[in-house]
Structure 1
Amino acid sequence: MSPLQTNLSCGTSFDFDELQWVANIRRTIEADQLEDDSEISGCIFSVPKPLMSNHPDSYTPHQLSLGPYHYSRLELHEMDRYKLSAAKRCQKLLQGLKFQDLVEQLMKLEFKIRACYSKYLNINGQTLAWMMAIDASFLIEYLQVSALSDPEMLSKVPSGMSHLFDYFRRKSIHDAILRDIVMLENQIPLFILRKVLEFQLLSLESAEEMLYSMLRGSCKELSPFKTVESSSGVKVSDHAHLLDFLYNIIVPKVEESLEIPEEVKDDSKASQDNEESSVDSNYIKQPLIEIWKILLNQKIGPASFLNKLLKSAPCEVIIKLPWKTFLNLLGFGTVNQPNASSESQSFGSSFHQPLLVEEITIPSVSQLSKCGVRFVPTNGSISTINFDKKTCTLYLPRISLDVNSDVVLRNLVAYEASNSSGPMVFTRYTELMNGIIDSAEDAKMLREKGIILSHSTNDEEVANMWNGMSRSIRLTKVPFLDTVIQDVNNYHDGQFKVKVEMFMKLYVFGSWKFLTLVAAILLLLITSLQAFCSVYDCVRLFHFQ
């Protein structure tokens, strides 16, 4: 999206200023850097409405506003005094320059800054430059404080930051600010942070190195996976903002795979289900038919009596009655094809409905454990997920959950949904965890195995977090995760006790209305036969010897 397109695009209504609009258009067209900036696309997005409506508190800052999306919220202005203090300390580090010089330098990057935001920014260029300079000064100081656990950063922290360390390292305040700076709508471009550090250090290389160390230290604290992907050779310029940096060191690179349209997926799945259901039905019906034929060939006994009874005139009249019409009138028109989608969803892919957007279909941890599946933690990220068919072992990465994890995970999903054009790897991972964790018991089992490391949340809260986590924007295919899901389902469905359970649910519990009707009809027929035989001599009437 070009700067001109960014300035003209508007998702919400605003007071239209004709003179300001003309001035912006003129400056945009006459800008010398327009040709370079035209290649910049939006990287700081608004949270998609389906995600925002599902859990708005995870995407709306509560303490700190960074950037233009939430700057007008009065309840966030309490942090302005800390921002101004950070700006004053930044001015002392500008090597004889004034803070105004930094602002003027950022004003030259106005169109590049605007192009980074996908939503229309109804503020003038000078206001935007001052906002970025002040917010960047504060964020740099906070990232330095947050990264103090990194030994490499101890020697690079300014001496005047001891009061910030005492304030920001308070647990409640630190967690609240940490949650706010990781939110998708609260991001500012990293090239602005690099520009501020360049003014302070008078070296682009030193600014790049220092910013990279700060981001690495902060992301180690933010990342739920304590072992992140290797980022050797990665530059700050390769990333758009803090959340993008965190996403790229967590999520492995996966080659894009073609997505299957939902309609085609539904049709193929439905046809597969029908074929498998008919095969399973034939396995049950065929032996019963053979046994019935053997009984009918007998000359004596109950089978002979039933054979003659069925060939009698009263029974022929009963059999020829329009039973299909009666069943339709009673609401049992489709009883011969029971629908047990909701009841058999967790009992194997043979009876699965097409995949839902909200949750994939996979047995829970407790169900898999009953079938002999072992759960083993790995010291890696999402790329280490694997299912070993020989040992029936599901390998899952260790994930550390705290009070910030819910916000971090949700905003990573929101960023991936807004920015990714390929496979949504992280979203698929959250769907996998959502699928295998159905209750506190499942969360407890994973915690005991060392896969979930929960420091400040109980098992019930962990289960609720995962069950409310994923509300995907679109369906996607992630080859290595889809293979794991399919292998787990195939192993689970192949167990004998699972097959018996599936059969009982589908053909017994799923058909209870039909079986109740059949039992009532049989009871009526037997009662009628008993009354008939009490009046007439059945032995003489049917010529039994």
Structure 2
Amino acid sequence: MVAVFNKDVLSWYLITLKLKETVDANLKKSPSPQWQPLPRNPLLTNGTPGAGGETPAPALLTTRQDPASVAFPAQSPAHSPKPQDPEWVITIRGKLAQARAEEAACPWARLSVYRVPKSLRDGDDRAYSPQAVSIGPLHHGKRRLRDMERHKWRALHHVLKRTGHDVTAYLDALRPMEDRARACYDGRVAWMPADEFVQCLVLDGTFVLELFRGALEGFAGDLGYSRHDPVFAMRGAMHAVRSDMILLENQIPLFVLDRLLGTQQGRPEQTGAVAALAVRFFDPLMPTDTPMHRKDRSMLESSVAASSATASFDPLSEPMLHCLDVFRRSLLRAGLQPTPPPAARLWPRMWSVPRRVVADKRRQQFVHCVSELREAGIRCRRRNTDRFWDIRFDKGVLHIPRILIHDGTKPLFLNLIAFEQCHHMDVDATPGGNNITSYAIFMDNLINSAEDVKYLHDRGIIEHWLGSDAEVAELFNRLCLEVVFDINDSYLSGLSDQVNRYYDYKWSTWVASLQHNYFTNPWAIVSLVAGVFLLLLTTMQTFYSAYSYYRPAA
């Protein structure tokens, strides 16, 4: 019994020792005391010397405080990280510093080749994407476009064979302008290594120049291509390739093409020659049923190539960005000027009662549709010019140039409109930054139905190769669905005021109604004349009856 008792006591004793050792070990690992006196500093005194000529600083420092915040109390700028900031705040400050650096660099000032915004390309992605060939880095390497790569290498081979140059001459010519070329693209092309980027510019740029020269000089002559070539011939895949080369995302800066052509010809610093070639190459894409007149084409080309262009060709007198910009400016040739607003005219009050009052000058449309304009006595007539945008209004008649609508018209206008939406034209010398958009919206307002298209087709204004008039109406109605546009900042704003002012007077409506109801065919005219004649006879009979009553015969 005693042995058992001693065993229990011994067990409790051992447990107590173990607990004591554990507590002691934890105490040794615990941090230093919370409050510690500061070391004496002879520079920190309270002004009353004590023993030894100095007084200990009365302040106490806690371990919860940051010593740097006490030693350096000055505040840092808002964007600089602070040691006491949490990690997520430091991340935010880093992003702000990055934004500040980007704002100072202003990279968008040099952009010219843009990614089409998602708001514009919804439902029409095919109209903005190349289908046969990629030009530039934005669509480089896509699987469905790789078949054309071997033809690009063939083009480069022909150039080297003709000129006797080594490929390094072209690589070295473009390498110094790599950063300048990268800055033109709004597509995050930083992922592409420098060597691959320069190779892409040389390969695609040489391909473009061969097409330009072949369209002007012929591929089978000095260029040395076979008449049966599947690409370098004026047939076969040429139409698809030309259509892809006008897309906004499928461009190469024009200064790159100028340097490549100048290197081929031994004049690396020349400019303007590529733009002149592009004007001729893209002539078949003009949205008219007749090509550009030879005289106009020669004037355009001379205005591009000459160092000092004439004033009548302002759109092509300044440096251009890329092929799409060249094509757009060639469309707006001959000094496009806005139509001035109409001067106030003194109409008789009885004929000038307006149907409505437009209180908001920021109208949502240029003009009414064709059907409504016809009811107001406004007619449409074809204007004999190949400048499809040059619309005039005179004495109740809209003079509209002829335009040809085909399968390539929609992608062409969509990319021109997207370029005007993305690029700030006011920094360029181009007169007006939304002229193509203005024309598209004007035609959209003018056409609401297949009947409107039929009327314009009968007047020789619209010629189309689509299946029906309804498809043409849908094409124009969908061109500018998500476009941001100020109708007052348009070259057609003054013309719109003239048309709407004419539309607002009742006299023109009464005359139009009379013509529409009583002068549509010979029988209606005969009925009208007979009715007027009977009315006159009835009036005369009534007069003589009344006259004989009041003044009977003697």
> TM-score, structure 2 length as denominator?
0.59
- Output the amino acid matched with 2:328: Y
SS of the residue aligned with 2:367?
Answer: coil
Deviations, residues 24-69 of structure 1 (Å, cap 9, x unaligned): xxxxxxxxxxxxx999711111112221125222111122111111
> Aligned-pair distance for 1:167?
6.4
Query: What is the RMSD of the two structures over their aligned residues, measured on CA atoms?
Result: 3.6
Rounded Cα–Cα distance in structure 2 between residues aligned with 1:241 and 1:214: 12
Task: Give, in angstroms, the shift of residue 348 of structure 1.
Answer: 7.0
Equivalence for 1:414: 418
Q: Which has the higher helix share?
A: 1
Q: Is the 8 A contact 2:156 2:207 kept in 1?
A: yes
Matches within 5 A, 1:374-523: 374-378=379-383, 379-381=385-387, 384-388=390-394, 390=395, 392-419=396-423, 420-421=425-426, 423-455=433-465, 458-471=468-481, 472-478=483-489, 480-495=491-506
> Aligned letter for 2:177?
L
Query: Larger radius of gyration, structure 1 or 2?
Result: 2
What amino acid does structure 1 have at the position aligned with 2:172? E
Partners in 1 of 2:435 and 2:130 — Cα distance?
26
- Secondary structure of 1:233's partner? helix
**C-alpha distance in structure 2 between counterparts of 1:383 and 1:183, whole Å:** 21
Counterpart residue identity of residue 135, structure 1: D
Residue equivalent to 1:109: 177
Task: Write the distance in 1 (CA, Å) between the matches of 2:107 and 2:143.
Answer: 34
Alpha carbons 2:253, 2:321 under 8 Å: kept: yes
Q: 1 CA distance for matches of 2:338 and 2:372? A: 32
Deviations 1:490-539 (A, max 9, x none): 2223236969x9xxxxxxxxxxxxxxxxxxxxxxxxxxxxxxxxxxxxxx
Instruction: Measure, in 2, the Cα distance between the counterparts of 1:92 and 1:186.
Output: 27
How does the TM-score come out when normalised to structure 1?
A: 0.60
Distance 1:217 1:176 in 2: 17
For the structure 1 residues 40 and 168, does the alpha-carbon distance in structure 2 shift closer, same or farther, using more than 3 Å as the test? farther
Q: 1:497 to 1:387 in 2, by over 3 A?
A: closer
The 8 Å contact of residues 114 and 187 in structure 2, kept in 1 or not, is answered as yes
Cα distance in structure 2, aligned partners of 1:164 and 1:206: 31
CA 1:382–1:191: 2 relative to 1, 3 Å: same
The amino acid of 2:145's aligned partner reads L
- C-alpha change, 1:64 and 1:70, in structure 2 (3 Å) is same
1:290 aligned residue: none
Aligned to 1:249: 330
- Secondary structure of the corresponding residue to residue 131 of structure 1: helix
Letter matched to residue 278 of structure 2: L
Amino-acid identity (%) = 25
- How many residues align? The count is 368
| Superposition map of 1:196-207 within 5 A | 196-203=260-267
1:176-215 → structure 2 map (5 Å cutoff): 176-203=240-267, 208-209=272-273, 211-215=274-278
Q: Which blocks of at least 5 consecutive residues in structure 2 are unaligned?
A: 1-105, 306-315, 340-352, 427-431, 513-554
CA distance in 1, matches of 2:128, 2:373: 34
User: Superposition pairs for residues 68-467 of structure 1, below 5 Å?
Assistant: 68-93=137-162, 95-121=163-189, 122-145=191-214, 147-148=215-216, 158-164=223-229, 169-170=234-235, 173-203=237-267, 208-209=272-273, 211-225=274-288, 226-227=291-292, 231=300, 232-235=302-305, 238-251=319-332, 350=357, 360=365, 362-378=367-383, 379-381=385-387, 384-388=390-394, 390=395, 392-419=396-423, 420-421=425-426, 423-455=433-465, 458-467=468-477
> Residues of 1 paired with 2:211 and 2:459: CA distance?
36
Q: 1:114 to 1:175 in 2, by over 3 A?
A: same
Deviation at 1:453, TM superposition (A): 2.6
Offset of residue 427 of structure 1: 0.6
Q: How far apart, CA to CA, are the structure 2 residues paired with 1:163 and 1:349?
A: 65
Instruction: For residues 197-226 of structure 1, give each alpha carbon's deviation from its aligned partner in whole angstroms, at most 9, with x where no partner exists.
Output: 2222223588844x3442121221122145
